[in-house]
Amino acid sequence: MATKVTATTTAPVDRHADRPRLDLGRVSGRAWLVTGLLVLFQIIAFADKAVLGLVSTDAMPELGLTAVEFGFIGSSFFFLYAIVSVITGFLASKFSVKWILFTMGIVWAVLQFPMLLGGGAAILLITRIVLGGAEGPATAMSLTSAQTWFPPLRRAFPSNLVAMGSTLGPVIAAPVLAWVIAAWGWRWAFGVLGIVGLVWTLAWFLLGADGPHRAGTRTDGASSTPARGDEATTDAAAANEVETSAVDEQKPVAIWRALLSIAFLSAVIGGASNFWVQGFLTTWLPQYLGTVVGLSLPQVGVVTTLPWIVGALVLLGLGVVGHRQLRRGRTAHVAIAVPFGCAAVVAGLSFIAIQATSGVVAVALLCIAGGCSLAYPMTASAIGYAVGARQRPIMMATLGGITSLGAVISPILVGWLMSRAGYISPPKGVTPSAEMSQHMADGVHQAFTITGIVLLIGGALCIAFLRPERLGATLQRRYVTQDAEQAA
């Protein structure tokens, strides 16, 4: 017979009660539903970026493009990236993020179909430019939307989940689109992405929404208050919860002061180093694997996913670490910026080491280097702690826009280095000679060294100077004036 437990029964002591837990159950199911949709949104955005590299072998000869011309088209994706990102950041400070994301989804989907219907090189260039502009604010708006559903102390993990979508996009898209290209032709790769985009847009229209922590609402409600059973939380963590929750209530400042700070500059250089790698991965990695490593298209579709899988695992692990560090009372600098910087440093060292190795070791280093340099959203997540909820999308979107310049430079640079080394794209259906393969390898390996140096600099700067709480305190202490509020 079961023993009845009364209200006076003494509960056993939990020796681990003071340990920070992931503690995800205190947020509504709607928050996780929206987060899931935002992860899918990021997957589609980065699948759109990856498709160009996957079709390169077939598209370049059919469209009559040289390596430099194809690299230019790869870079063109980021021509409007910065401009539209900054504009959208200011719009998001005044309008619902739900409808901004909805509009972006529609534009993404529609722009895929011209290539399916027979567009040439000029159409490819134009659609990539416009598509890049429409996708520029994707990460900033996704993070902004997700963070309206979570109190500040619990944003590290869902933010990294959303960021994982950017790494899962190529993981899912590469093998699927490789199969589509083999079965139906390279133009259908664009068509499939257009159809998927329309389906997501409909789902977002029906289920998407802004959360309770958006600008103009208080963040000190029940969702950000420790639940029963958390009495053992340390004093440092409790104090940090109060301080961190106050982030959303910071008064508006003259935003240019934040954008000219050393913290923001560090985030820009660190983020640009990640975009630099993204430009290479999405434009040249598939052709490098096919020409230099000698993989078939299906094999390329599989191997191309490995850096992105590593990136997803890195983001997941760093998200858990960041959540626990915040719960221990650490700052966003320690919990988010430092782990990002360390990942960038590891990536930089791996890129530099690739040339000294070969075979499986070289491929493993390439996967580590690529994966560890895909954590850009962590810089946006960190810098968001420097300002209040109303100005956060401006900071994030401006950061994303400026850092995208890294992806503008790298595809053109790689194409130029390949051409300088003597590489010439062969006619359609002709396998590159051993000499051409070596020329491509020489050019790409030079690019690896440059990429490694860029990552080392960006990672070191973020570790040293990306201190959002210090920036926020300085802005609030020195620059919150009536004029600043009117200017904001």
What are the pLDDT tens digits along the chain (488 aa)?
A: 444 434 444 444 444 444 444 444 455 678 889 988 999 998 888 788 778 877 887 888 888 888 778 878 877 887 887 788 888 878 877 788 889 999 999 998 999 899 888 888 899 999 988 888 888 788 888 888 887 888 777 777 788 788 777 777 777 877 788 888 888 988 999 999 999 999 999 999 998 877 776 655 444 433 333 333 333 334 444 444 434 446 667 787 888 888 899 999 999 999 999 889 888 877 788 778 888 877 777 777 677 778 888 888 898 888 888 888 887 888 889 999 999 999 999 999 999 998 888 777 888 898 899 989 888 888 988 888 888 877 888 888 888 888 888 888 888 888 889 888 888 877 766 777 888 888 888 888 898 999 999 999 999 999 999 999 899 888 888 765 545 455 55
pLDDT at 481: 54
Task: For residue 474, count CB atoms less than 10 angstroms from its CB and return exposed for 0-12, middle for 13-18, buried for 19 or more.
Answer: middle
- The domain segmentation of the chain, as residue ranges, is 29-218+239-487
The CATH class of the 29-218+239-487 domain is mainly alpha
DSSP one-letter code for 385: G
Q: In this structure, how many other beta carbons lie within 10 angstroms of the beta carbon of residue 236?
A: 12
User: How high is the pLDDT of residue 201?
Assistant: 93
pTM for this entry: 0.67
**pLDDT for residue 215:** 57
The span from the CA of 203 to the CA of 220, in Å, is: 31
CB atoms within 10 A of CB 147: 26
DSSP assigned state of 27: S
What is the three-class DSSP state of 254? coil
Q: What local confidence, expressed as pLDDT, does residue 238 receive?
A: 41
Q: Is 214 helix (H, G, I), strand (E, B) or coil?
A: coil
H or E element at residue 224: none
Q: What is the b/e burial string over 357-391, where b = at least 16 CB atoms within 10 angstroms of the residue's CB?
A: eeeeebbebbbbbbbbbbbbbbbbbbbbbbbbbbb
Could you tell me the two tokens for 254?
A: 């003259």
DSSP-based three-state secondary structure for 457: helix
